[in-house]
Structure 1
């Protein structure tokens, strides 16, 4: 196995670990269509800037430090980006990364040609 494949598999494994938590998976679902799942924000556009961590915290019903930890795991896996506006952090889904993880995972079970 080449180093490139090993790094690719490691990256996929990291993302799958992030997705294995039901709270993180739920948050990503909400971030996939923020206008449907969150009310308009005073600071920052839901689509352009992302969703305020306070809105995510309120919706999921967990403590803010717990949500921040979940978001850190998702960010380290490359599944979300963060942006600070005033005193708040806003999170946005990296759709291309999510799509790539799904494609990479599907390729693991493909028949060799």
Structure 2
């Protein structure tokens, strides 16, 4: 129904964040060397390190959320099976109750 509005808003947001990224890269041309405890990184621009950090964080967040998603999907399947078994049991009890009433009524 409002798919076109969602697409327009998504496109505007993507263009906005790309513009911010380009502006950040232009305003921060400094070359730095990343020095971690056990690793010395190559000399790259601040913007490139920021983009790499953002990309790494997004990948980690995607991995963690996919694990949670898969766990929830498994739990949904288990609960659906339990629900189906309970429905079958209720149907069997209803049928047994109806047949009992019919047999009592014939006597």
TM-score exceeds 0.5: no
Which TM-score bucket, shorter chain as reference? under 0.3
- In the superposition, the TM-score normalised over structure 2's length comes to 0.26
Larger radius of gyration: 2
- In the superposition, the TM-score normalised over structure 1's length comes to 0.25
